[in-house]
Structure 1
Amino acid sequence: MDDQGDVAYYVNNIHGDVTHLTAQHGEILNAYTYDAFGNMLSAREQRVNSFRYAGEMQDALTGHYYLRARFYNPLIARFTQEDTYRGDGLNLYAYVANNPIRYVDPSGYMCEVKGETYANPKDKVVKEYDVVPYRPTTGKYGLENHHGVMNGLNKMYRDILHL
């Protein structure tokens, strides 16, 4: 609601990006498009709005997004402070495991996948598919076949781990 009492509504895409701000009767007030890492490609604004990429608040001065624990800079596709949680790889500045199409990071600490939070996105695959990271007997990465999980998931596992 603005200072005149006019109400506006946020319209988000599946990633959570604010794509439009509409007036009470559906008129489009603001429209935004972004690239995958949150850089603004186009913006048309009639009303001041700070909430944008992934539904997060953007600092008007720096252009960085505030993710509670730290700030994310879309120009370099990295956080500007180190991650205090050490379990998400060697790059302590990485944003969403360098995969902003699949993940979001609303806290600044962990990737989130469709409402589930993991400090490390690989944990989701290990948890759900009983992945064996390395089998010394065969010398291969993959899934335990005797658990009834299809080997077709091996490709997904390799994609996530970038093997």
Structure 2
Amino acid sequence: MNSSEIRKHLKKGELAVALLESLGYVYEDSAPSKPPRWSGEDTVKGRYDDLLSEIAKHLPKPEPVKVEVPVDPDICVGDSFVVNTLPKRHYLQGVRWARRGPYTVDNVQWIAPLTPASQKLDGFHGFAVNFRYFDGFKQVGLWLPLSCIQITDKTTRKEGPPTNADF
């Protein structure tokens, strides 16, 4: 190690000492039985907490979460409807000749956000209608949001939807 490298090394040590002293640490070399050490309360953590509390004062207060309360739709089981639009990746997207309907409502249900039913419907939440579609080989149960349909014929039945709807 030549003298210039030794001077660089000493300069780094001086800078480290200045930093520790500025943070409130003190070098203790008083006890002969103990090795010398830097002591002091952990002011860095205290300054960090102070800084976080100061920042929190200037942040905007979070607004209360608005919960969407379902309103009972004016759709009954047995009503006829046609399809106006289809959500992305819906089963009927690939069946052009059967897209519009008319179809009959089998069930009307509120689908809450972040539930398994909502996840199965690609994150949709709100009122949806369940209906059956015969694809030529078997009947398929499908769901559509109310915004995608138009009621064409209302029934006079007032019984509610079945409570054991499948998804």
Specify if TM > 0.5.
Answer: no
Q: Which has the higher contact order (CA 8 A, sep 6+)?
A: 2
Q: What TM-score do you get using the length of structure 1 for normalisation?
A: 0.16
More strand by share: 1
Q: What TM-score do you get using the length of structure 2 for normalisation?
A: 0.16
Greater Rg over alpha carbons, structure: 2
